[in-house]
Structure 1
Amino acid sequence: MGILVLGLVLFLGVHSVRIVADGWRTQTLARMGEMPWKGLYSLVSGVGLALIVWGYGLARQQPVVLWVPPIGMRHAAALLTLIAFVLLAATYVPRNALKARLHHPMVLGVKVWALAHLLSNGNLADVLLFGSFLLWAVLSFRAARQRDRAQGTVYAAGSSAGTAVALVVGLVAWAGFAFWGHAWLIGVAPLGR
Structure 2
Amino acid sequence: MAILVLGILLFLGLHLIRVVAPGFRAGVIERRGKGTWMGIYAILSLIGLCLIIYGFGQARSETGMLYDPPVFMRHIALLLMLFAFIFLAAGFLPAGRIAVAVKHPQVLSIKVWALAHLLANGETSSVLLFGSFLAWAVILRISLKRRERAGERVLPVFKSASNDVLAIIIGLVAYVLFVWKLHEWLIGVAPVVMG
* TM category, shorter: over 0.9
Structure-2-length-normalised TM-score: 0.94
Task: Give, in angstroms, the shift of residue 152 of structure 1.
Answer: 4.4
CA apart distance, 1:158: 4.6
Within 5 Å, give how 1:119-130 maps onto structure 2.
119-130=119-130
Corresponding residue for residue 156 of structure 1: 157
Query: Does the Cα contact within 8 Å between 1:75 and 1:191 map onto a contact in 2?
Result: no
Cα drift, residue 189 of structure 1 = 0.9
Identity %: 47
Shift of 1:160: 2.4
| Alpha-carbon contact 1:98-1:158 (below 8 Å) kept | no
Residue 190 of structure 1 corresponds to which residue in structure 2?
191
Q: Is the 8 A contact 1:100 1:158 kept in 2?
A: no
- Report the RMSD for the aligned CA atoms in angstroms: 1.3
Work out whether residues 95 and 156 of structure 2, in 8 Å CA contact, stay in contact via their aligned partners in 1. no
Determine the C-alpha separation between the residues in 1 that align with 2:38 and 2:164.
31
Mapped to 2, the partners of 1:148 and 1:21 lie a distance apart of 18
Report the counterpart of residue 20 of structure 2 in structure 1: 20
Q: Is the 8 A contact 1:87 1:98 kept in 2?
A: yes
Stretches of structure 1 lacking an aligned partner (at least 5 in a row): none
The aligned amino acid for 1:36 is T
Q: Residue 135 of structure 1 aligns with which residue? A: 135
Q: Distance in 1 between matches of 2:164 and 2:108?
A: 16
Give me the whole-angstrom Cα distance separating, in 2, the residues matched to 1:155 and 1:134.
22
Which amino acid is the alignment partner of residue 105 of structure 1? P
Superposed CA deviations along residues 5-49 of structure 1, whole A, max 9, x for unmatched, are 000000000001111111222222221211110111011111111
2:170 alignment counterpart: 169
Q: Deviations over 1:73-100 (max 9, x none)?
A: 1111111111110010001121311112
Alpha-carbon shift at residue 145 of structure 1 (Å): 2.3
Matched position secondary structure for 2:190: coil
Correspondence list, 1:4-43, <5 A: 4-43=4-43
How many angstroms apart in 1 are the aligned matches of 2:49 and 2:152? 33
